Amino acid sequence: MPELPEVETVRRGLAPVMEGARVASVELRRTGLRFPFEEGFAERIAGRRIEALGRRAKYLVARLEGDLLLAMHLGMSGSFRIESPSGAGAVETPGAFHHPRSEDRLHDHVLFHLASDAAPPARIVFNDPRRFGYMTLIRAAEMDAHPHFKGLGVEPVGDALSAEHLAPLFAGRLAPLKAVLLDQRVIAGLGNIYVCEALWRAKLHPARAAGTLVTKSGRPSAKLAELTRHIRETIADAIHAGGSTLKDYRQADGSLGYFQHSFSVYDREGEPCPRLDCSGTVERIVQSGRSTFYCPRCQR
């Protein structure tokens, strides 16, 4: 499943083409993806201007004129491709993922035909071999109550994520720190790779009880403040680098993202801890069915 930095990379690649353009038509080549398309899906989008392309957690959210939102999830194998209507010229697939995206046109399931006064016509193609992605239309005023968005926590970017915000969510909790950080009701969009990396940066053990980062008076400890800072910095660094790109996936401009070369512990089992003053070795444990990589010497 793509993590937040990968989805944000996709958003930044698509935004220059989609924002301000009008959807001339929508071509559906299936009746649905993970879920069926709602009745009138294509017709409700066609003719509307795309006012903005945003992101909430791991969802892309296109704000269409007329107070309508198009929410899109990439699932496990979904990707967007930017191309000219004729198929000629440069073809871009914005994003950077753990697994490379498909280039097989047989898996092109949704095509957005765009028209713009400021640029040549373009086509945005959604390709998804495993069909775990999905799209839905939501009235803007109803977004926070929608099942896909209801109860989502704070974003791990910007000023909203703070130790003061997390303290009451951590207080009294005996659950492992990593499990709490992966809870989308606590922090929206934070995934396995970047939790491992942030915990290493903060020198915190992934199995440590989350409540130990809050004082008896309910105030955030210095360690929680450090963790919050490292979460934000880890995500920011990954977005700047273009995501994980653990294979050979490319961004919108054709360049590779290189955050994977900065991984300190993720997928580095048996390697020396890269911290200069640490002589530990990276280990892997399984928590809730997922691999956790950490240094048992410097993470406490």
- Contact 96/2 with Cβ under 8 angstroms? no
Local structure of 232: helix, strand or coil: helix
Vertex 206: Cα angle to 200 and 209 (nearest 5): 130
Point out the catalytic residue in the list 2, 94, 176, 220.
2
Annotated catalytic, 83? no
Catalytic residue among 22, 44, 290, 297: 290
SS3 292: strand
Residue 3 annotated among the catalytic residues of the structure: yes
Which of 60, 52, 49, 61 shows the shortest CA–CA distance to 24?
Answer: 49
Six-digit token pair at 52?
């903005």
Residue 197 annotated as catalytic: no
Give the active site residue among 55, 56, 58, 232.
Answer: 58
Catalytic residue among 3, 6, 8, 197: 3
Write the DSSP assignment of 160-224 as a string of letters: T--HHHHHHHHTT--SBHHHHHH-TTTBTT--HHHHHHHHHHTT--TTSBGGGGB-TTSPBPHHH
Q: Indicate which residues carry an active-site annotation.
A: 2-3, 58, 290
